[in-house]
Structure 1
């Protein structure tokens, strides 16, 4: 029986991709580099520190890792704090409230830094519903490495068989499956296209799920 739902954040709970894309493109322009969308798509689901490491491997960037990371943050948070484009994904808050009211333990396992997680949860009033929030910045290896999901299961107090992950990114789904956890792929149609074929099932709306369907696996949509 499923007792815990582990959510990714970007692309599952909140849609920060439009401003993230704009912020990163402005950063790349400032750095004098061109990052094709095909390369950019491979970054989705990675932690910022791992994205920065990949950028430095791929391009001739004179800034140190920490300098580049802070520069990336400055571009992103300037937009985050001023833009009205940051929105929750359709029906996700209602789904979160429904699960919480029905006794599920909810955890977040996001590649986003703690600062970003706190900003999103504060803006949209999500703190009361989650028992724990894990950030990719606290792990050496990023998704598709399963470390963050293994830690989330340990934090939940349940077995892997009692947990389910909801992910939108190829890297995130690979991480969940590498951890041995049932994974629901989510395709909102609002994000850069990701391959969800490795997920156990794929949904396009949170209206397709409810507490009864999550109680037992496999889920029938």
Structure 2
């Protein structure tokens, strides 16, 4: 029997570019609270779970109830924007199709709430490629902790060393490497540069995913 491999996908900045939608949603939410949400805040927290972002921006004094209210309101603002249109990034669908034909199992591994991920998969008509979705609600620790990717590998029944992660954030690359997985970093959206992603441990860095084929991905394991 041939060896089985898996591909675990981050979403924001890797499958799709919804960064500006998130930024505007956080900024709108913060303005309602009288807090200035800056680009520096966004870069420092991108790819993290909402509870961690809220503590970073608004402080540890925020109660769990208020934290949940902030998160729910922010996500409502984000989803309103996302419904106006989201597309897969260049090369993503082709690589998803190639990996599927190459018998890679595939999953989503994201810090985003499940409702956000389900909406993106529906809007981009990409649900058919993924056997499982690991969302914020499925983890207790955010990236760079490897929990999200280890959970995905476990659900797929694939050994972590036989998994490759597609990421665009330093924390995500660190999580992939802490899980003992290969990692391809993507710079197209530009949240983090190639140098930072390679320093974080990425095995390969590309600007766009149409620079890769399924054969290129398989070679990472040799």
With normalisation by structure 2, the TM-score equals: 0.89
Is residue 200 from structure 1 mapped to residue 199 from structure 2 by the alignment? no
Is 1:111 aligned to 2:114, yes or no?
no
Q: Would the alpha carbon gap of residues 184 and 26 (structure 1) be closer, same or farther in structure 2, given more than 3 Å must change?
A: same
8 A Cα contact 1:46 1:142, kept in partner: yes
- 8 Å CA contact retained: 2:164, 2:182: yes
Query: Counterpart of 1:78?
Result: 80
Cross-structure match for 2:139:
139
* CA shift digits 1:116-153 (9 cap, x unpaired): 11111111111111111110222111111111111112
209-218 or 89-98: which moved more? 209-218
1:142-221 alignment to 2 at 5 Å?
142-188=142-188, 190-193=189-192, 195-197=196-198, 198=200, 199-217=202-220
Residue-by-residue CA offset, 1:165-197 (whole Å, 9 max, x unaligned): 111011111111111111111111x24335312
- What residue number does 1:32 align with? 34
1:176–1:35: structure 2 CA closer, same or farther, 3 Å change rule? Answer: same
Deviating above 3 A after TM superposition, structure 1's stretches of 4 or more consecutive aligned residues are 58-63
Unmatched tracts of structure 1, length 5 or more = none
Per the TM alignment, residue 50 of structure 1 is displaced from its structure 2 partner at its CA by: 2.3
> In 2, are the aligned partners of 1:49 and 1:137 still within 8 Å (CA)?
no
- Structure 1 residues 164-173 or 194-203, which shifts more? 194-203
> What secondary structure sits across from 1:9 in the alignment?
coil
RMSD: 2.2
- 1:49 aligned residue: 51
Alpha-carbon separation, structure 2, partners of 1:191 and 1:97: 25
1:211/1:59 CA distance change after superposition, 3 Å:
same
Over 3 Å counting, the alpha-carbon distance change for 1:124 and 1:94 in structure 2 is same
**Number of residue pairs matched?**
216
TM-score, length basis structure 1: 0.89
Q: 1:10: which partner in 2?
A: 12
